[in-house]
C-alpha cells in the first residue's frame, strides 16, 4: 500500500496537472501569515506567495512564479535564484594605473540562509581578479559589498567588461554560480611611458588605508606575471623609517609562474606620536623588470605604536621564560629549606637520645679507694658488676629507641624528597644504607 505522503503528493500533482473547476478551487488570504490558501474538495493547501501553486509543490514558495520556470534545472525556480544587482564602479571611468572599486548588491529570495558564499570580480581583458568570502545572507536580505582592483598603467583605452560572480556551495564538490556584468571605459592618466597593452608585470594593490591603533593597516596585493617564463620578484618598502614599520607577507621574495598571479599583503605599523597622512613606496623588482607603487597611510591622532607580530612573539617568549626560571628558583629554595629543617631536627633528636658521656673521677687512696689486689671486698664487687650491667642494659634500650626514631625520620625525609622509590631501596639520597638496613636488607643484630 502506498504511504499517505506519497498519495498526497500524487494527488497534488494530478490537481495541478488538471484544471480545477472554479466551484472547487478558491484562493483566499490567510490572515495568520499573510499568504494565501488553495481550497478544494480535498482540503486546504498553503500558498505563501499566492501564485496558485501549493507550497509543497512550489519550486520557489516565497516568490511568485506561476510558470515554475527553472532554466538552470537546480530544482529551484528562477525566481529563487540569487539576484546580483546594483552593479557600479568608482570612479565611473577608471584611469590607467589607478584603483577601481566595484560595488555589488546581492538579494536572497530563498526561504533559507545562504552561507559560505564567495564574491568575485574579474576584468578578463586586463587579467585582473579579486575575491572575498561573504557572511550569511538571510532570507529576504539584500547585502551590499565591494571589491578593489587596480587598472594597469598601460591598459588599453577601450570599453572593458567587469564581471561579478557569486559562488554558493550547495553540496561538497557542487556549486551554484550567479553572475552579473557591466562595461566601463578606461581613460588615460598619462602615466604610461611605453606601448599600451604590453605591461608584463602587473601589481594590483590597495593604495590608501587607515592605520588602526592596535592592528596597524593591511595592504593586500596581487602580482600578475605576463612574461613567457617564471619570475622571482623581490619586494621592498621605502619611506616608512621615520614614522613606521612595514612587514611583507608571506615574504619579500615571491615566485610567480608564467601567466599566473600570486597574492600577498603588506602590513604597516605606526610609531608612537606619529599622526596625519604619510606616503611610502612599494618596489617590486625582477631581473629585467621593475615596478614602484606609491601608497598612502592615514594615522589617526590617537594611534599608538602597536608592536609587530614578531616582536610581540619574542617579548611573550621572554616573559614566559622569566616566569619559569622564577618558579624553578622558588621550588629549589623551598626544597633546600626543608632539607635543612629535617637535618636540624634529626641532630636535635640524636643529642637528646645520646647525651655526651660523663667522665668518672678516678678513685684515690682515701677511704673510698679500692683495696689493693688480693684484698677486694666480695660484696662490693657484686654490687659494682650489677650496677654496670644495669647501665649497659639501659644504654642499649636508649640506643634501640634512637635507632627506631632515626629510621622513622629518615624514611619520612626520603618520602618527602624522593618519593617511595628511595625508601624501598633502603638507601638515602647519597646512596648510603639506611640505619637498620644492611647490604642484604637484614636488620641490625
Domain ranges for the chain, please list them: 23-68, 82-185, 201-306, 326-355+398-445
- Which one of 170-184, 213-227, 244-258 scores highest in mean pLDDT? 244-258
What pLDDT digit, counting tens, does each position of 282-308 carry?
Answer: 999 988 788 888 898 988 875 444 555
* Listed ranges 14-28, 65-79, 133-147; the one with the highest mean pLDDT: 133-147
Say whether pTM exceeds 0.85: no
Cα three-residue angle 220-224-228, rounded to 5 degrees = 165
Residue 235 in this model has a pLDDT that exceeds 60: yes
Over residues 317-329, the pLDDT tens digits come to: 888 899 999 999 9
Task: Return the C-alpha cell found at 369.
Answer: 679507694
Of 138-142, 158-162, 364-368, 433-437, the poorest mean pLDDT is in: 364-368
User: Is residue 65 within 8 Å of residue 48, measured between CB atoms?
Assistant: no
Q: What is the pLDDT of residue 41?
A: 78
Q: Which of 299-308, 351-360, 362-371 has the lowest mean pLDDT?
A: 362-371
CATH 3.30.465.10 applies to domain 82-185: no
- pLDDT of res. 373: 46
* Mean of the per-residue pLDDT values of the chain: 77
Q: Give the model's confidence band at 441: pLDDT under 50 very low, under 70 low, under 90 confident, else very high.
A: very low
pLDDT of 74 higher than 80: no
CATH of 201-306, one of 3.20.20.10, 2.60.40.2310, 3.40.50.1220, 1.20.1080.10: 2.60.40.2310
- Give the per-residue pLDDT at 372: 46
Amino acid at each position: 500500500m502506498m504511504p499517505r505522503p506519497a498519495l498526497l503528493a500524487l494527488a497534488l500533482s494530478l490537481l495541478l496537472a488538471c484544471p480545477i473547476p472554479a466551484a472547487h478551487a478558491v484562493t483566499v488570504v490567510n490572515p495568520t501569515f499573510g499568504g494565501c490558501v488553495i481550497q478544494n474538495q480535498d482540503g486546504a493547501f498553503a500558498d505563501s506567495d499566492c501564485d496558485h501553486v501549493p507550497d509543497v509543490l512550489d519550486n520557489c514558495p516565497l516568490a511568485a512564479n506561476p510558470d515554475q520556470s527553472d532554466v538552470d534545472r537546480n530544482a529551484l525556480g528562477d525566481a529563487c535564484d540569487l539576484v546580483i544587482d546594483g552593479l557600479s564602479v568608482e570612479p565611473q571611468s577608471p584611469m590607467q594605473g589607478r584603483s577601481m572599486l566595484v560595488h555589488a548588491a546581492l538579494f536572497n529570495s530563498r526561504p533559507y540562509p545562504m552561507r559560505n558564499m564567495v564574491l568575485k570580480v574579474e576584468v578578463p581583458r586586463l587579467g585582473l581578479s579579486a575575491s572575498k568570502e561573504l557572511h550569511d545572507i538571510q532570507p529576504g536580505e539584500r547585502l551590499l559589498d565591494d571589491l578593489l582592483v587596480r587598472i594597469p598603467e598601460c591598459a588599453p583605452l577601450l570599453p572593458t567588461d567587469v564581471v561579478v560572480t557569486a559562488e554558493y556551495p550547495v553540496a561538497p564538490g557542487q556549486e551554484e554560480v550567479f553572475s552579473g556584468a557591466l562595461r566601463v571605459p578606461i581613460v588615460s592618466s598619462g602615466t604610461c611611458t611605453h606601448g599600451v597593452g604590453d605591461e608584463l608585470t602587473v601589481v594590483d594593490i590597495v593604495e590608501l588605508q587607515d592605520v588602526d591603533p592596535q592592528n596597524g593597516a593591511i595592504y593586500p596585493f596581487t602580482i600578475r606575471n605576463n612574461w613567457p617564463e617564471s619570475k622571482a620578484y623581490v619586494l621592498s618598502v621605502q619611506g616608512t623609517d621615520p614614522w613606521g614599520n612595514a612587514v611583507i607577507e608571506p615574504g619579500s621574495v615571491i615566485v610567480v609562474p608564467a601567466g599566473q598571479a600570486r597574492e600577498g599583503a603588506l602590513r604597516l605599523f605606526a610609531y608612537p606620536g606619529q599622526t596625519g597622512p604619510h606616503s611610502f613606496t612599494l618596489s617590486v623588482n625582477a631581473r629585467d623588470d621593475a615596478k614602484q607603487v606609491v601608497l598612502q597611510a592615514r594615522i589617526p591622532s590617537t594611534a599608538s605604536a602597536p608592536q609587530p607580530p614578531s616582536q610581540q612573539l619574542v617579548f611573550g617568549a621572554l616573559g614566559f621564560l622569566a616566569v619559569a626560571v622564577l618558579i624553578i628558583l622558588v621550588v629549589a629554595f623551598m626544597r633546600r629549606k626543608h632539607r635543612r629543617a629535617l637535618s636540624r631536627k634529626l641532630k636535635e633528636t640524636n643529642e637528646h637520645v645520646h647525651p655526651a658521656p660523663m667522665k668518672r673521677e678516678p678513685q684515690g687512696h682515701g677511704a673510698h679507694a679500692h683495696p689493693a689486689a688480693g684484698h677486694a671486698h666480695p660484696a662490693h664487687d657484686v654490687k659494682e658488676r650489677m650496677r654496670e650491667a644495669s647501665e649497659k642494659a639501659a644504654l642499649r634500650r636508649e640506643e634501640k629507641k634512637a635507632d627506631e626514631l632515626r629510621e622513622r625520620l629518615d624514611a619520612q625525609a626520603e618520602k618527602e624528597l624522593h618519593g617511595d622509590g628511595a625508601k624501598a631501596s633502603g638507601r638515602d639520597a647519597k646512596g648510603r644504607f639506611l640505619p637498620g638496613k644492611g647490604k642484604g636488607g637484614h636488620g641490625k643484630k
